[in-house]
Protein backbone atom coordinates (compact mmCIF):
# COMPACT_ATOMS: atom_id res chain seq x y z
CA UNK A 1 0.00 0.00 0.00
CA UNK A 2 1.40 3.36 -0.93
CA UNK A 3 1.35 6.03 1.69
CA UNK A 4 0.34 9.46 0.43
CA UNK A 5 0.97 12.24 2.93
CA UNK A 6 -0.96 15.51 2.94
CA UNK A 7 2.36 17.38 2.83
CA UNK A 8 3.15 15.73 -0.48
CA UNK A 9 -0.25 16.52 -1.90
CA UNK A 10 0.17 20.21 -1.10
CA UNK A 11 3.70 20.43 -2.48
CA UNK A 12 4.17 22.97 -5.30
CA UNK A 13 6.50 20.47 -6.97
CA UNK A 14 5.25 17.56 -9.07
CA UNK A 15 5.05 14.31 -7.12
CA UNK A 16 8.38 12.53 -6.83
CA UNK A 17 8.59 8.92 -7.97
CA UNK A 18 8.08 6.34 -5.24
CA UNK A 19 11.23 4.77 -3.93
CA UNK A 20 11.44 2.11 -1.29
CA UNK A 21 14.04 0.67 0.98
CA UNK A 22 15.75 -2.58 0.01
CA UNK A 23 18.74 -4.71 0.82
CA UNK A 24 20.74 -7.64 -0.49
CA UNK A 25 18.65 -10.00 1.58
CA UNK A 26 15.58 -9.22 -0.45
CA UNK A 27 16.61 -11.73 -3.06
CA UNK A 28 16.89 -14.35 -0.38
CA UNK A 29 13.36 -13.55 0.80
CA UNK A 30 11.95 -13.71 -2.69
CA UNK A 31 11.33 -10.00 -3.08
CA UNK A 32 12.38 -7.69 -5.88
CA UNK A 33 15.99 -6.62 -6.16
CA UNK A 34 17.26 -3.26 -4.93
CA UNK A 35 15.59 -0.42 -6.79
CA UNK A 36 17.73 1.94 -8.76
CA UNK A 37 17.66 5.66 -8.16
CA UNK A 38 15.30 7.26 -10.66
CA UNK A 39 16.24 10.01 -13.06
CA UNK A 40 16.70 13.39 -11.41
CA UNK A 41 13.52 14.25 -9.49
CA UNK A 42 11.61 17.51 -9.23
CA UNK A 43 14.28 19.11 -7.05
CA UNK A 44 17.29 18.38 -9.21
CA UNK A 45 19.03 18.89 -12.53
CA UNK A 46 20.88 16.56 -14.83
CA UNK A 47 24.37 15.69 -13.63
CA UNK A 48 27.13 17.60 -15.33
CA UNK A 49 29.67 15.88 -17.51
CA UNK A 50 32.60 14.50 -15.51
CA UNK A 51 35.53 16.84 -15.62
CA UNK A 52 38.89 16.94 -13.91
CA UNK A 53 39.41 19.65 -11.34
CA UNK A 54 42.14 21.09 -9.19
CA UNK A 55 40.80 18.94 -6.37
CA UNK A 56 41.38 15.75 -8.31
CA UNK A 57 44.82 16.88 -9.40
CA UNK A 58 45.82 17.57 -5.81
CA UNK A 59 44.51 14.25 -4.56
CA UNK A 60 45.84 12.15 -7.41
CA UNK A 61 49.38 12.79 -6.19
CA UNK A 62 48.73 11.48 -2.69
CA UNK A 63 49.39 7.75 -2.41
CA UNK A 64 47.90 5.33 0.06
CA UNK A 65 49.24 2.14 1.61
CA UNK A 66 47.64 -1.32 1.32
CA UNK A 67 45.81 -2.79 4.27
CA UNK A 68 43.55 -5.81 4.77
CA UNK A 69 39.99 -4.87 5.47
CA UNK A 70 37.81 -7.43 7.28
CA UNK A 71 34.32 -7.77 5.93
CA UNK A 72 31.08 -9.14 7.20
CA UNK A 73 29.66 -6.55 9.58
CA UNK A 74 26.18 -5.22 9.08
CA UNK A 75 24.86 -1.68 9.02
CA UNK A 76 23.99 -0.35 12.44
CA UNK A 77 21.45 2.00 11.08
CA UNK A 78 17.73 1.70 11.31
CA UNK A 79 16.64 -0.39 8.39
CA UNK A 80 13.74 1.62 7.13
CA UNK A 81 13.70 3.82 4.23
CA UNK A 82 11.30 3.79 1.37
CA UNK A 83 7.71 3.58 2.21
CA UNK A 84 6.96 0.77 -0.14
CA UNK A 85 9.51 -1.84 0.07
CA UNK A 86 12.41 -1.65 2.23
CA UNK A 87 15.31 -1.02 3.92
CA UNK A 88 13.25 -3.88 4.84
CA UNK A 89 15.31 -6.81 4.06
CA UNK A 90 18.04 -8.30 6.07
CA UNK A 91 21.38 -7.71 4.41
CA UNK A 92 23.06 -10.92 3.34
CA UNK A 93 26.39 -11.65 4.99
CA UNK A 94 29.40 -10.48 3.02
CA UNK A 95 31.54 -13.17 1.38
CA UNK A 96 34.82 -14.11 3.05
CA UNK A 97 37.90 -12.15 2.08
CA UNK A 98 39.98 -14.00 -0.51
CA UNK A 99 43.67 -13.68 -0.98
CA UNK A 100 44.74 -11.97 -4.16
CA UNK A 101 45.06 -8.49 -5.63
CA UNK A 102 41.33 -7.73 -5.37
CA UNK A 103 41.17 -8.91 -1.76
CA UNK A 104 43.29 -6.03 -0.57
CA UNK A 105 41.63 -2.68 0.05
CA UNK A 106 43.77 0.41 -0.13
CA UNK A 107 43.67 2.47 3.02
CA UNK A 108 45.11 5.87 3.65
CA UNK A 109 46.22 4.66 7.05
CA UNK A 110 46.39 8.20 8.34
CA UNK A 111 46.96 10.05 5.11
CA UNK A 112 43.30 10.38 4.15
CA UNK A 113 42.57 12.85 6.92
CA UNK A 114 45.58 14.99 6.11
CA UNK A 115 44.82 15.01 2.38
CA UNK A 116 41.22 16.11 2.76
CA UNK A 117 42.04 18.53 5.60
CA UNK A 118 44.57 20.17 3.28
CA UNK A 119 41.85 20.78 0.70
CA UNK A 120 39.60 22.28 3.38
CA UNK A 121 42.37 24.60 4.54
CA UNK A 122 42.97 25.67 0.95
CA UNK A 123 39.29 26.58 0.62
CA UNK A 124 38.72 24.03 -2.12
CA UNK A 125 35.65 22.41 -0.48
CA UNK A 126 32.64 24.67 0.04
CA UNK A 127 29.72 22.34 -0.70
CA UNK A 128 30.23 19.32 1.56
CA UNK A 129 27.72 16.49 1.69
CA UNK A 130 27.83 14.09 4.66
CA UNK A 131 26.39 10.57 4.46
CA UNK A 132 25.93 9.13 7.95
CA UNK A 133 24.96 5.78 9.41
CA UNK A 134 24.32 4.38 12.87
CA UNK A 135 28.04 4.17 13.60
CA UNK A 136 28.08 7.89 14.40
CA UNK A 137 25.72 7.30 17.34
CA UNK A 138 27.47 4.46 19.18
CA UNK A 139 29.59 7.03 21.02
CA UNK A 140 26.31 8.37 22.41
CA UNK A 141 25.60 5.04 24.10
CA UNK A 142 23.19 3.64 21.52
CA UNK A 143 24.05 -0.07 21.12
CA UNK A 144 24.68 -1.57 17.74
CA UNK A 145 22.15 -4.00 16.36
CA UNK A 146 23.91 -7.32 16.02
CA UNK A 147 26.44 -7.92 18.80
CA UNK A 148 25.36 -11.18 20.52
CA UNK A 149 24.00 -10.55 23.98
CA UNK A 150 24.18 -6.76 23.87
CA UNK A 151 22.91 -5.73 20.43
CA UNK A 152 19.43 -4.29 20.04
CA UNK A 153 18.29 -7.34 18.11
CA UNK A 154 19.30 -9.62 20.99
CA UNK A 155 16.74 -7.86 23.17
CA UNK A 156 14.00 -8.93 20.75
CA UNK A 157 14.60 -12.69 20.94
CA UNK A 158 11.46 -13.20 23.02
CA UNK A 159 9.38 -12.13 20.02
CA UNK A 160 10.71 -15.03 17.94
CA UNK A 161 11.27 -12.86 14.85
CA UNK A 162 11.47 -14.77 11.54
CA UNK A 163 14.65 -12.73 10.88
CA UNK A 164 16.07 -9.76 12.84
CA UNK A 165 15.09 -7.02 10.40
CA UNK A 166 11.46 -8.16 10.51
CA UNK A 167 11.10 -5.73 13.39
CA UNK A 168 11.19 -2.99 10.71
CA UNK A 169 8.95 -4.77 8.20
CA UNK A 170 5.57 -3.05 7.90
CA UNK A 171 3.70 -6.32 7.34
CA UNK A 172 5.25 -7.90 10.41
CA UNK A 173 4.44 -4.76 12.37
CA UNK A 174 0.77 -5.26 11.52
CA UNK A 175 0.91 -8.65 13.23
CA UNK A 176 3.27 -7.88 16.10
CA UNK A 177 3.70 -4.15 16.85
CA UNK A 178 5.17 -4.82 20.30
CA UNK A 179 8.47 -5.98 18.79
CA UNK A 180 9.09 -2.57 17.25
CA UNK A 181 7.72 -0.71 20.26
CA UNK A 182 10.22 -2.55 22.47
CA UNK A 183 13.01 -1.32 20.23
CA UNK A 184 11.51 2.16 19.98
CA UNK A 185 11.71 2.58 23.75
CA UNK A 186 15.50 2.34 23.40
CA UNK A 187 15.70 4.78 20.51
CA UNK A 188 13.20 7.50 21.33
CA UNK A 189 14.86 10.95 21.29
CA UNK A 190 15.68 12.21 24.76
CA UNK A 191 17.39 9.11 26.09
CA UNK A 192 20.75 9.87 24.46
CA UNK A 193 22.83 12.95 23.73
CA UNK A 194 24.81 13.96 20.62
CA UNK A 195 28.53 13.19 20.64
CA UNK A 196 31.69 14.74 19.18
CA UNK A 197 30.96 13.35 15.70
CA UNK A 198 27.60 15.12 15.53
CA UNK A 199 29.19 18.38 16.63
CA UNK A 200 31.93 18.02 14.01
CA UNK A 201 29.19 17.94 11.37
CA UNK A 202 27.54 20.96 12.98
CA UNK A 203 30.90 22.73 12.87
CA UNK A 204 30.91 22.24 9.09
CA UNK A 205 27.55 24.00 9.02
CA UNK A 206 28.66 26.86 11.24
CA UNK A 207 31.57 27.49 8.88
CA UNK A 208 29.23 27.63 5.88
CA UNK A 209 30.68 24.45 4.36
CA UNK A 210 27.81 22.00 4.82
CA UNK A 211 25.50 21.53 1.85
CA UNK A 212 23.46 18.71 3.43
CA UNK A 213 23.56 15.73 5.80
CA UNK A 214 21.91 12.53 4.62
CA UNK A 215 21.40 10.21 7.57
CA UNK A 216 20.00 6.72 7.96
CA UNK A 217 19.54 7.30 11.70
CA UNK A 218 16.21 7.77 13.42
CA UNK A 219 17.64 8.74 16.81
CA UNK A 220 17.31 12.49 16.11
CA UNK A 221 20.81 13.29 17.40
CA UNK A 222 21.78 15.28 14.31
CA UNK A 223 18.89 17.64 14.91
CA UNK A 224 19.47 17.68 18.67
CA UNK A 225 23.05 18.92 18.27
CA UNK A 226 21.82 21.93 16.30
CA UNK A 227 22.00 20.97 12.63
CA UNK A 228 19.15 22.95 11.00
CA UNK A 229 16.17 21.19 9.48
CA UNK A 230 16.96 22.54 6.02
CA UNK A 231 20.43 20.99 6.14
CA UNK A 232 19.20 17.56 7.23
CA UNK A 233 17.63 14.71 5.27
CA UNK A 234 16.45 11.94 7.59
CA UNK A 235 16.10 9.31 4.89
CA UNK A 236 14.50 6.77 7.20
CA UNK A 237 12.14 9.09 8.99
CA UNK A 238 11.99 10.07 12.66
CA UNK A 239 9.86 10.11 15.82
CA UNK A 240 8.73 13.72 15.42
CA UNK A 241 5.32 12.76 14.04
CA UNK A 242 3.10 9.68 14.21
CA UNK A 243 0.19 8.25 12.25
CA UNK A 244 -1.91 5.16 11.68
CA UNK A 245 -0.04 2.54 9.65
CA UNK A 246 -3.26 1.58 7.83
CA UNK A 247 -5.16 4.77 7.00
CA UNK A 248 -2.30 7.22 7.72
CA UNK A 249 -4.45 9.48 9.84
CA UNK A 250 -2.11 11.76 11.87
CA UNK A 251 -1.87 11.02 15.59
CA UNK A 252 -0.39 13.26 18.32
CA UNK A 253 3.26 12.24 18.52
CA UNK A 254 3.51 12.89 22.26
CA UNK A 255 0.45 10.73 22.96
CA UNK A 256 1.98 7.93 20.87
CA UNK A 257 5.21 8.22 22.84
CA UNK A 258 3.45 8.07 26.20
CA UNK A 259 1.57 4.93 25.14
CA UNK A 260 4.64 3.20 23.72
CA UNK A 261 6.85 4.05 26.69
CA UNK A 262 4.12 2.68 28.98
CA UNK A 263 3.99 -0.61 27.11
CA UNK A 264 0.63 0.12 25.49
CA UNK A 265 -0.32 0.02 21.80
CA UNK A 266 -1.63 3.37 20.48
CA UNK A 267 -4.62 2.92 18.16
CA UNK A 268 -6.19 5.11 15.51
CA UNK A 269 -9.51 6.73 16.48
CA UNK A 270 -10.64 6.55 12.86
CA UNK A 271 -10.00 2.93 11.82
CA UNK A 272 -8.65 1.33 15.05
CA UNK A 273 -5.38 0.50 13.28
CA UNK A 274 -2.09 0.55 15.16
CA UNK A 275 -0.34 3.91 15.32
CA UNK A 276 3.42 4.17 14.94
CA UNK A 277 5.99 6.97 14.76
CA UNK A 278 6.71 8.05 11.19
CA UNK A 279 9.86 5.95 10.94
CA UNK A 280 10.25 4.48 7.47
CA UNK A 281 9.86 0.72 7.54
CA UNK A 282 10.76 -1.86 4.95
CA UNK A 283 7.69 -1.87 2.79
CA UNK A 284 7.16 1.91 3.01
CA UNK A 285 8.11 4.80 0.74
CA UNK A 286 11.06 7.06 1.33
CA UNK A 287 10.21 10.64 2.32
CA UNK A 288 9.96 13.11 -0.53
CA UNK A 289 12.81 15.16 0.95
CA UNK A 290 15.14 12.29 0.05
CA UNK A 291 14.91 13.36 -3.59
CA UNK A 292 16.94 16.47 -2.84
CA UNK A 293 19.87 14.18 -3.59
CA UNK A 294 19.38 14.76 -7.32
CA UNK A 295 20.40 18.37 -6.77
CA UNK A 296 22.87 18.03 -3.89
CA UNK A 297 25.20 15.26 -4.99
CA UNK A 298 26.06 16.67 -8.44
CA UNK A 299 26.78 19.99 -6.70
CA UNK A 300 29.02 18.53 -3.96
CA UNK A 301 32.76 19.22 -3.99
CA UNK A 302 33.50 16.85 -1.06
CA UNK A 303 31.64 13.77 0.17
CA UNK A 304 32.25 12.49 3.71
CA UNK A 305 30.87 9.02 4.47
CA UNK A 306 30.88 7.83 8.09
CA UNK A 307 29.54 4.99 10.22
CA UNK A 308 27.64 2.99 7.61
CA UNK A 309 27.95 -0.34 5.82
CA UNK A 310 26.34 1.03 2.62
CA UNK A 311 24.22 -2.11 2.24
CA UNK A 312 20.72 -0.64 2.34
CA UNK A 313 19.32 0.67 -0.93
CA UNK A 314 18.61 3.14 -2.35
CA UNK A 315 20.57 5.08 0.29
CA UNK A 316 23.79 3.14 -0.39
CA UNK A 317 23.90 4.19 -4.04
CA UNK A 318 23.90 7.90 -3.25
CA UNK A 319 27.68 7.89 -2.77
CA UNK A 320 28.13 6.97 -6.44
CA UNK A 321 26.28 10.02 -7.74
CA UNK A 322 28.94 12.66 -7.10
CA UNK A 323 31.17 13.63 -10.03
CA UNK A 324 34.16 11.35 -10.58
CA UNK A 325 36.59 14.15 -9.75
CA UNK A 326 34.99 14.84 -6.34
CA UNK A 327 36.95 13.61 -3.29
CA UNK A 328 35.16 10.95 -1.24
CA UNK A 329 36.42 10.36 2.30
CA UNK A 330 35.30 7.20 4.10
CA UNK A 331 35.57 7.31 7.90
CA UNK A 332 34.60 3.83 9.06
CA UNK A 333 35.76 0.76 10.91
CA UNK A 334 35.85 -1.23 7.66
CA UNK A 335 35.96 -0.49 3.96
CA UNK A 336 32.47 -0.68 2.42
CA UNK A 337 30.63 -0.22 -0.86
CA UNK A 338 32.73 1.25 -3.68
CA UNK A 339 35.73 1.46 -1.33
CA UNK A 340 36.06 -2.33 -1.51
CA UNK A 341 37.00 -2.11 -5.18
CA UNK A 342 40.53 -1.98 -6.49
CA UNK A 343 41.81 0.22 -7.79
CA UNK A 344 40.01 3.00 -5.96
CA UNK A 345 38.97 6.15 -7.74
CA UNK A 346 41.90 8.53 -7.60
CA UNK A 347 39.89 10.98 -5.48
CA UNK A 348 38.86 8.31 -2.93
CA UNK A 349 40.35 8.28 0.57
CA UNK A 350 39.82 5.96 3.53
CA UNK A 351 40.50 6.33 7.22
CA UNK A 352 39.69 2.97 8.78
CA UNK A 353 39.41 2.29 12.49
CA UNK A 354 37.75 3.90 15.47
CA UNK A 355 35.32 6.49 14.08
CA UNK A 356 35.39 8.88 17.02
CA UNK A 357 39.18 8.84 17.05
CA UNK A 358 39.32 9.56 13.31
CA UNK A 359 36.94 12.51 13.59
CA UNK A 360 38.80 13.94 16.58
CA UNK A 361 42.11 13.68 14.71
CA UNK A 362 40.64 15.41 11.68
CA UNK A 363 39.33 18.22 13.88
CA UNK A 364 42.80 18.53 15.42
CA UNK A 365 44.47 18.76 12.00
CA UNK A 366 41.99 21.46 11.00
CA UNK A 367 42.46 23.34 14.27
CA UNK A 368 38.79 22.99 15.20
CA UNK A 369 39.11 20.90 18.38
CA UNK A 370 38.81 23.71 20.93
CA UNK A 371 35.81 25.22 19.17
CA UNK A 372 33.97 21.89 18.98
CA UNK A 373 34.65 21.17 22.64
CA UNK A 374 33.40 24.61 23.61
CA UNK A 375 30.29 24.10 21.49
CA UNK A 376 29.64 20.81 23.28
CA UNK A 377 30.18 22.43 26.70
CA UNK A 378 27.63 25.09 25.87
CA UNK A 379 25.09 22.34 25.18
CA UNK A 380 26.09 20.25 28.19
CA UNK A 381 27.46 17.43 26.02
CA UNK A 382 31.18 17.62 26.82
CA UNK A 383 32.50 15.11 29.35
CA UNK A 384 36.21 15.45 28.66
CA UNK A 385 38.51 13.47 26.34
CA UNK A 386 37.65 9.82 25.55
CA UNK A 387 39.09 6.98 27.62
CA UNK A 388 40.15 3.43 26.83
CA UNK A 389 36.78 2.20 28.08
CA UNK A 390 35.14 3.61 24.96
CA UNK A 391 36.56 0.90 22.76
CA UNK A 392 33.31 0.22 20.90
CA UNK A 393 33.03 3.74 19.54
CA UNK A 394 32.52 3.76 15.80
CA UNK A 395 31.31 0.16 15.50
CA UNK A 396 28.72 -0.42 12.86
CA UNK A 397 28.02 -4.12 13.24
Give me the helix-helix angle, 355-366 and 369-378, nearest 10°: 110
Q: How many helices (H) and strands (E) does the chain have?
A: 12, 13
User: In angstroms, rounded to a whole number, what is the distance separating the alpha carbons of residues 308 and 207?
Assistant: 25
User: In angstroms, rounded to a whole number, what is the distance separating the alpha carbons of residues 171 and 157?
Assistant: 19
Residue 17: predicted pLDDT: 57
User: In angstroms, rounded to a whole number, what is the distance separating the alpha carbons of residues 235 and 133?
Assistant: 11
Q: How many other β-carbons are positioned within 10 Å of the β-carbon of residue 367?
A: 10
Residue 263: predicted pLDDT: 92
> Which residues are the active-site residues?
236
Nearest to 114 by CA among 191, 61, 161, 177: 61
Gyration radius from the chain CA atoms: 20
Decide the pairing of beta strands 348-352 and 210-215.
unpaired
Start-to-end Cα distance in the chain: 31
Report in angstroms the alpha-carbon separations of 253 from 173, 194, 260: 18, 22, 11
Four-CA torsion 234, 237, 242, 244, nearest 10 degrees: 150
Residue 354: predicted pLDDT: 93
Four-CA torsion 81, 197, 338, 288, nearest 10 degrees: 30
331-357 pLDDT per residue, tens: 998 899 999 988 888 999 999 999 999
The list of the chain residues with pLDDT below 70 reads: 1-111, 144-153, 383-397
Nearest to 185 by CA among 239, 250, 249: 239
Q: ∠ CA 121-123-124 to the nearest 5 degrees?
A: 110
Report field, pTM of the whole predicted structure over 0.85: no
Residue 43: predicted pLDDT: 34
Give me the helix-helix angle, 196-206 and 355-366, nearest 10°: 30
Element containing residue 304 per DSSP (H, E): strand 302-306
Residue 28: predicted pLDDT: 34
Cβ partners under 8 Å of residue 123, min gap 6 = none
Residue 362: predicted pLDDT: 96
Query: What residues pair up with 275 in beta bridges, in sequence order?
Result: 244
Amino acid sequence: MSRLRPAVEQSPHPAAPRLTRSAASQARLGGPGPPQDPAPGPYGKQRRKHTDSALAQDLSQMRVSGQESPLGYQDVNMRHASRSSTQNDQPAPSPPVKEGPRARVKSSSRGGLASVARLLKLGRCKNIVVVAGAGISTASGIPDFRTPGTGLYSNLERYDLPYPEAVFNIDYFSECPQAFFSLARELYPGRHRPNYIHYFIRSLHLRGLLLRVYTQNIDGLEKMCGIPEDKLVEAHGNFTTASCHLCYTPYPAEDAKVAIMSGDVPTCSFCAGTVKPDVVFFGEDLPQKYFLHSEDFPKADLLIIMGTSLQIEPFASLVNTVRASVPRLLLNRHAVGPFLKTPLRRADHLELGDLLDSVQRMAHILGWSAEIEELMRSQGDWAGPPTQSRAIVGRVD
